[in-house]
Amino acid sequence: MTSFADITAELEKQAIELPSWAFGNSGTRFKVFATPGTPRTVEEKIADAAQVHKLTGLAPSVALHIPWDKSDDYDALRRFAEDQGVALGTINSNTFQDDDYKFGALTHHDDRIRRKAIDHHLECIDIMDATGSRDLKIWLAEGSNYPGQNDMRARQDRLQESLQEIYARIGEEQRLVLEYKFFEPAFYHTDVPDWGTSYVQVAALGERAMVCLDTGHHAPGTNIEFIVMQLLRLGKLGSFDFNSRFYADDDLIVGSADPFQLFRIIVEVVRGGGYGNPDVAFMLDQCHNIENKILGQTRSVLNVQEMTARALLLDHEALEQARQENDVLAANAVFMDAFYTDVRPALADWRESRGLPRDPMAAFKESGYQQKIEAERVGGAQAGWGA
């Protein structure tokens, strides 16, 4: 039987990248809500993200979104992040907030628009060179709303041609990571709707092209852990975007809708060699519409840590014995025993032993940081969707 003391060395390997946009204003499709203390600059976003790492020891890097996080001096931005105790991570492109991309970007039939979208990604790679970032992550809000509107096969061909040019520009130590989403904003077909399409596209590019799995980007009832297993088996799982959803959207705190699903996913990550593996990046992709943003990100990384601890406690010897004996209920009981283990007290003790707050959520509230930024960040344009 595995004890908590047996897994602390594994827990020390955990690193979860935070998204800069999680600290900006966000909302529903009808309203973006402003909140006091919201960052106005990319530097202020990074400073807030650094607070999460200070409280939890789990979030050593921050992903940037271009053009939302453009800077006149990326070398200075990198140094600023380092002074805050974090690093700059994944660079995320944006081809979904420009009028030219109304009918597509990398898949568009118009050579001019497709060229513009490709050049944007080449600019993102230049930024990666300046920041020391490894991964370029691409999510495409491209597709069609009505049957007959587009030639779906031609769009796949154009997508591959566009990705080939982008992939040819990345450095030897860099990667292209292609995300998928089964719908939104297109209602009839999406150009990269599932893991299979993403896999087919990146497999044709080369070994430094990978799939990004967003846990909220699946149809209801999808067995996400099966997809995790398969992509790890194929050596093509490049990163996770962790979040949760109840219905169609996907920006809730990870583990909030279905903690058991998060547990099952991480069990497969551990089983497949993806945990503690620098080639499989753990990231968040969330927005905090009504809750405090720093606390929302803190709660998120703690949820991932808690489910990781439970997954690491799984008794694999007992599980395999039950499987060999075809004892269905015994195998399930071993699995559920790990899931139902309350690791929170042990994690609190372990954090304290490492010089971290026992309760990071309470520690933030007591720190006065929120009151400080609300007093200081007055005037200027708050960061949010599109800024």
Instruction: Render pLDDT for 210-229 as a digit per residue (tens, 0 to 9).
Output: 999 999 999 999 999 999 99
Instruction: Indicate the burial class of 35 (C-beta count within 10 angstroms; 0-12, 13-18, 19 or more).
Output: middle
pLDDT at 31: 84
Ordered by start, the domain boundaries in the chain are 13-311
> Cα-Cα-Cα-Cα dihedral of 202, 141, 289, 85, to 10°?
40
d(CA 262, CA 253): 11
pLDDT at 175: 98
Closest CA to 300 of 344, 244, 353: 244
* Domain covering 13-311 assigned CATH 3.20.20.150 in the classification: yes
d(CA 161, CA 18): 31
pLDDT tens for residues 258-290? Answer: 999 999 999 999 999 999 999 999 999 999 999
pLDDT tens for residues 123-181? Answer: 999 999 999 999 999 999 999 999 999 999 999 999 999 999 999 999 999 999 999 99
Q: How far is CA 196 from the centre of its chain?
A: 19
8-state DSSP, 312: H
pLDDT tens for residues 44-93? Answer: 999 999 999 999 999 999 999 999 999 999 999 999 999 999 999 999 99
DSSP E strands, 295-367:
none
Q: Are 2 and 315 in contact (CB under 8 A)?
A: yes
d(CA 199, CA 203): 6
Q: What is the mean pLDDT of residues 227-235?
A: 98
pTM above 0.85, yes or no: yes
Q: Is the pLDDT assigned to residue 250 strictly greater than 90?
A: no
Quote the tokens at residue 62.
């921050």
Q: Is the pLDDT assigned to residue 29 strictly greater than 80?
A: no
